[in-house]
Chain A
Amino acid sequence: MQSSLQIKNCQLYRQNELLLSLNEQVNGGEILTIMGPSGSGKSSLLNWLTGTLPSSFKANGEVWLNGQNIDNTPPHLRHIGVLYQDALLFSHLTVAGNIAFAMPKGNKKQRLEKIEHALEKVGLKDMGNRHPDNLSGGQQARVALLRMLLSEPKAILLDEPFSKLDTQLRVDTRELVFSQIRDHKLPAIMVTHDHSDADAANGKLITLSSAL
C-alpha cells in the first residue's frame, strides 16, 4: 500500500479568525510546499498535524495517515517526524546517543551498527562520539535528519528546516533531505519562506495569503 498523508477539510482559526482552509493529499515521496507570510498559520498547521496546537488556536477537519484517522491519537503515538529550523539536538547525549534515542528499542549492537552506517552515508563517519554542540551547523542539521529518519516516521513535516543555513550548505542539505524523503517514499509537508526551497521540492505549492 502506498503511504499517504491526507488533510480533509481543515479549517484553522486563531480566536475565531479563519487563518486557512485546506484539503490536500500527499503521497509517499511527494513534498507539498506551503508558503506564506508570518502569521498566516503555516506553523500552526504543522502543530495541528502533530497534535500540539496551542489552545489559542482552533481547528476543524481530519488527518488521515496511511488510511487511518489520527485526530484523536496523542502526539507521541502519531509517528510524524518533524525537522525544525534549529537542529534541537540533545546536548546531554553524544551524536550517536541522539540517534539511538530516536531508534526503536532493540539489540544494542545492531543499533550501534545501524547508527555507524547511517552516519557514514551522510559524511559524518566516526563522529558518533562527538558532542553535538561541537558540530558545525550543517553537521547538526544532518544529525537531526538522521535522528528523525531512524525513528521510522510514517510522514515528515519540515518547518523552515534550511532557513538558518547559508546558501551552499542550504542547497546540499536540502538535496540530502529531499533525496531521503524520496528514497523512503514518505509523504512530506514543507513550510518555507524561500522560493528556491519550493522549486527544489518540485511538488505542489500552496501560497497562503496573510490573514483575511
Chain B
Amino acid sequence: MSVISKSVPVNTKATTQCSTDMFTRIVKFSPRFLLALLILPVLGGLISVLLPAFGYAPVLEQTTFSLQGFNALWQTPGLTQMVTLSVATGLISTLLAFIITLMILAAFFNSPWLNRIQRLLSPILVIPHAAAAIAVGFLIAPSGMISRLASPWLSGWELAPNGMFPHDSFGISIILGLTLKELPFLLLMALGVLAQPELGKKLRQQHKVALNLGYCPMTAFFKVILPSLYPLLRLPLLAVLAYASASVEMPLILGPNTPPTLAVAIMHWFNDVDLNLRIKASAGALLQLAVTGGLLALWLAGEKAIKVLFSDSLTNGVREYGGFYWQKITVVLTALVISFILLSLIGLVMWSVAGFWRFPEAMPEQFTLLHFKSALMQMGSPLFNTLAIGLVTTLFAIILTLLCLESEQLSDKPISRFTSLIIYLPLLVPSIAFLFGLVWIQQLVNNQAAFFNVVLTHLLFVLPYVFLSLASSYRRLDPRFAHVAASLGAAPCKVFFKVKLPQLFAPILIAAALGLAISFGQYLPTLLAGGGRIATITTEAVTLANGASRRTSAVYAIMQMVLPLIGFILAWGLPKYFFKSARV
C-alpha cells in the first residue's frame, strides 16, 4: 500500500518533468528555428542569384566568372525606361498612399468618421493584389465603369473609345492600383498603433492639450501626433515601398508591355525557354535589388531632411495652416478614394454575372450565372491547391509563432531587435530578387516536391504577418493568469495549452485568417516554387487577366476575394459561437 502510494507521485513527477523539459526545450529553440527559416532562404536565394549574375552557372555549363550578364542587361533596349517606371510607380504610389493616410488621420482624428472609414476600408486588406489590379483595370478601361457612367451625357461617346488605360506607358494605372491597395494597409497600421492602450491614450490626450493651446485639429495632428506615430509606421512604409517598386502582379495586369517594369521584365527573362537569358535575368535581379535598396535609402534620407527642415516649425507657434480648406480637400479625397474602390468592386461583380452588356449602359441587359458555373467547373484543382497550400502554411506559421512568443514569456525578455527586424526581411527584400535563387536551390535539393517548395516559400511571406498579428495580443496577455496556474502546480506546457491558448482563441483565428489571405494572394512564389506546375486561383487569375474573357477573369478575381473573406468571417464568428455555447 505504502509502496504504491509512494511510487505513483514519483512517477508522475518524473514524467511531468520530462515532458516539461521537452516542451521548454522546443519552445526555447523555436526563435532560432524561426530566424533560420527566414534568413536562410532569403540569403541563400540572394547568393544563388549573385553567382549566375557574374556568369557562374554550372547548370548552364558556365563555370567562369564574367560580366556577360550585365553586358546583356545594359544592352537591353528600354532598360532606362524599365527602371524609371519601377522607381516612379513605386515611389509615387507609396507617397500618395502615405500622404492620403496622414490627411485622413489628421482630418478625422477623434471623429466618429475615422471608425467608419476604417470599417469601410479594412475589407480591402484581404483582397489580393492581383484581384485588386483586375478590379481597378475594369474600372479605368475604355469600356469600364467610369467611362460608362460618364457616357454619353458627358463624354459624348456612343462606342467605347480607344483609351490609354490600363497599360498606359506612364504607369498611371499601376500607381492608381498600388495607391488604392496600399492606402488601407497604411491607414490600418496607423490605427493599430493608435489603438495601443497606453500610447494611444497618451497621444489622444496630447492632441487634446494642443487643442486647448489653440491648435487647429489638423495642425495638432501634424505637430503633436505625427512625430510620435511615424517611427512606428516606418517599417510598414518601407515594406510598402519595397513591394511597390518590385511587385509583378500589379504591373503585369495594369502596366505597359513595351517596356514593362523591371521586375516584370526579369520575370519574363527567367521564364524564357532560352536558359541563357537566366544569366541576364540574374543580373537584372541584382539591379532590382539596387533599385529597391536605393529607394529605401532615398526614403530614409528624405525622412531625415524633412525632420531637419521642419523641426523649427514644430515650435514656431503657428496654429493654423488653412486647416478649413485642407479639411474640405481631405473629405473630397476620401470620398473619391472610397467611391473608386466601391465602383471597381461593383464593376467586377457586374462583369461576373453580365450577359449582354452594351457600351454606354451602366448595367448589363441580362444577368447570368453561366460564367460562374463554367469557371467553377474548371476551378476544382486550383481551388484545392490554394486551400491545401494555405492551410498547411498557415498552420505551420501559427505553431511557430506561438512557440516563439511563448519562449519570449518563458525567458522573460522580448525577442531581440535583430530578430524582430529579420521577421520583416522577406517583406523588405524584393521577392523577385531572391525567389529565383531560392528556386535554383530547391531544384538542386529536390526536384519533385513542388507542393512542399511552394509551402516553404509561402511561409516566408505568411510568417511575418502572422507574427505581427499575434504578437500584440500575446504580449498583452495578463501574466498573472500564468502565475496563478503555475502556483497551482501546472507545468509550463499545461499553462500554455490550458491557460494561454484558450484565452488567445480569437486572436489566433484572426491571425490564421490573415495568414490564409496572404497565402491565397501569392502569385510569384507560387509560380516559381511550383515550377509552373501548381496552379492556384491567384496564378490562374493573373494568367486570365490579360487574355481571356473579362467575365471569366471577373469570376476568378471574385473567388480571390471571397476565399479570404470566408476566412475572416469564420475568424470573427467562431469565437462568438463558442462563447455563446459556453455560456448556455
Q: Which of A55, A86, A101 interacts with B213 by CB under 8 Å?
A: A101
B220 touches A76 (CB 8 A): yes
Per the CB 8 Å criterion, the residue count for chain A at the interface is 31
Assembled-state Cα–Cα distance A50/B442 (Å): 65
> What 0/1 pattern do residues 108 to 120 of B give for CB contact below 8 A with A?
0000100000000
Identify which of residues 49-79 in chain A touch chain B, using a CB-to-CB cut-off of 8 Å: 50, 52, 55, 75-77, 79
Separation in Å of the B129 CB from the closest CB of chain A? 35
Q: Residue on B with the closest CB to A96?
A: B315
Q: Does B11 contact A (CB under 8 A)?
A: no
Interface residues of A in 70-101 (CB under 8 A from B): 75-77, 79-82, 84, 86, 88, 90-93, 96-97, 100-101
Give chain B interface residues in 309-354, CB to chain A under 8 Å. Answer: 312, 314-319
* CB of B205 closer than 8 Å to a CB of A: yes
With contact pairs A52-B208, A82-B209, A88-B209 given, residues A76 and B214 touching in the complex (Cβ less than 8 Å): yes
Chain A 94-128: CB-based contact to B (< 8 A → 1; otherwise 0): 00110011111110100100000000000000000
Q: Which of B211, B214, B224 contacts A90 (CB 8 A)?
A: B224
Given contacts A76-B220, A92-B228, whether A82 and B316 have CB atoms under 8 Å apart is no
**Given the known A-B contacts A93-B314, A105-B316, A105-B317, are A147 and B205 also in contact in the complex, defined by CB atoms under 8 Å?**
no
Report the separation of the CA atoms of residues A88 and B204 in the bound assembly, to the nearest whole angstrom: 10
Considering the chains assembled together, what is the distance between the CA atoms of A79 and B317 in angstroms? Answer: 14
B205 to chain A, nearest CB (A): 5
The reply to whether A84 and B205 contact each other, CB–CB distance below 8 Å, is: yes
Question: Which chain B positions have C-beta within 8 A of A82?
Answer: 209, 212
* Residue pair A91, B213 in contact (C-beta under 8 Å): no
Q: Are B205 and A86 in contact (CB under 8 A)?
A: yes
- Min CB gap B497→A, angstroms: 40
Give Cα distance in the complex from A82 to B211, angstroms: 10
Chain A's closest residue to B315 (CB) is A100
Whether A76 lies near B319 (C-beta < 8 A) is yes
Q: Would you give the 0/1 interface string for B177-218, flagging 1 where the beta carbon is closer than 8 Å to chain A?
A: 000000000000000000000000010011011111111110
Give chain A residues whose Cβ lies under 8 Å from the Cβ of B209. 82, 84, 88
User: From A144, which residue of chain B is reached at the shortest CB distance?
Assistant: B209
Interface assignment of B278: CB less than 8 Å from any CB of chain A: no
The reply to whether A103 and B317 contact each other, CB–CB distance below 8 Å, is: yes
Contacts of A90 in B (CB 8 A): 206, 224, 227
Cβ contact within 8 Å between A106 and B317? yes
Chain B: minimal CB distance from A52 (Å)? 6
Give A93 to B314 CA distance when docked, in angstroms.
Answer: 9
- Select A93's contact among B213, B220, B315, B317, beta carbons within 8 Å: B315
Contacts of A84 in B (CB 8 A): 205, 209
A151 located at the interface, meaning its Cβ lies under 8 Å from any Cβ of chain B in the complex: yes
User: A81 vs B223: C-alpha distance in the bound complex, in angstroms?
Assistant: 18
In the bound complex, what is the Cα–Cα distance between A147 and B140 (angstroms)? 52
Q: Which of B211, B213, B214, B314 contacts A52 (CB 8 A)?
A: B211
Give Cα distance in the complex from A202 to B317, angstroms.
35
B116–chain A nearest beta-carbon distance, Å: 14
- A91, B228: Cα distance in complex, Å: 8
- With a cutoff of 8 Å between Cβ atoms, the chain B residues found around residue A106 in the complex are 317
Minimum CB–CB distance for B304 against chain A, Å = 15
A55 CB contacts on chain B under 8 angstroms: 112
Q: Which partner residue on chain A sits nearest B112 by CB separation?
A: A55
Residues of chain B in range 289-314 having any CB-CB distance to chain A below 8 Å: 312, 314
Alpha-carbon gap, A93 to B227, bound state (A): 9
Among candidates A79, A100, A108, residue contacting B214 with C-beta atoms closer than 8 Å: A79
A91: chain B residues within 8 A (beta carbon): 228
In the assembled complex, the CB of B279 is this many whole angstroms from the nearest CB of chain A, namely 50
The chain A residue with its CB closest to the CB of B219 is A76
Q: Which residues from A are CB-within-8-Å of B228?
A: 91-92
Say yes or no: B317 contacts A81, CB within 8 Å.
Answer: no
A76 engages B211 (CB within 8 Å) = yes
Q: How far is the CA of A204 from the CA of B314 in the complex (A)?
A: 40
Contact call B227/A92, Cβ cutoff below 8 A? yes
Shortest B201–chain A CB gap in Å is 10
A77, B315: Cβ atoms closer than 8 Å: no
- The residue in A84, A86, A101 that gathers the most chain B C-beta atoms within 10 A of its C-beta is A101
A105 to B205, CA, bound (A): 23
CA distance A90 to B202 in the complex (A): 10
Does B205 lie within 8 Å of A88, measured CB to CB? yes
Q: Give the Cβ gap from B402 to chain A, nearest Cβ, in Å.
A: 33
Q: Specify the chain B residue showing the minimal Cβ separation from A100.
A: B315
B223 & A101 in contact (Cβ 8 Å cutoff): yes
In the complex, A105 Cα to B320 Cα: how many Å?
A: 11
A104 touches B317 (CB 8 A): yes
Complex-state Cα separation, A100 to B311, whole angstroms: 12
- Beta-carbon contacts under 8 Å, A166-210 to B: none
Q: For residue A118, give the distance in angstroms from its CB to the closest CB of chain B.
A: 14
Give Cα A211 to B318, complex, Å: 42
Interface of chain A residues 124 through 165 with chain B (CB within 8 A): 147-148, 151
| Complex Cα spacing A111 to B216, Å | 21
Q: How far is the CB of A45 from chain B (nearest CB, A)?
A: 15
Shortest beta-carbon distance, A95 to chain B, in Å?
Answer: 11
Report Cα–Cα, A103/B217, bound state, in Å: 17
Question: Do A111 and B206 have beta carbons less than 8 Å apart?
Answer: no
Residues of B within 8 A of A50 (CB): 211-212
Please report A residues at the B interface, Cβ cutoff 8 Å: 50, 52, 55, 75-77, 79-82, 84, 86, 88, 90-93, 96-97, 100-106, 108, 111, 147-148, 151
A-B contacts besides A86-B205, A97-B314, 14 pairs, CB < 8 Å: A76-B210, A76-B212, A76-B220, A82-B212, A88-B206, A90-B206, A90-B227, A91-B228, A93-B314, A93-B315, A96-B315, A101-B315, A105-B318, A105-B319
Cβ contacts A to B, 19 pairs, < 8 Å: A55-B112, A76-B210, A76-B217, A76-B319, A81-B212, A82-B209, A82-B212, A84-B209, A88-B202, A88-B206, A90-B224, A92-B314, A97-B314, A100-B315, A100-B316, A101-B315, A104-B317, A111-B317, A147-B213
**Interface, chain B (partner A; CB < 8 A):** 112, 202, 205-206, 208-217, 220, 223-224, 227-228, 312, 314-319
Q: Which 6 pairs across A and B sit closest by C-beta, in order of nearness?
A: A105-B317, A92-B227, A100-B315, A76-B211, A151-B213, A97-B315
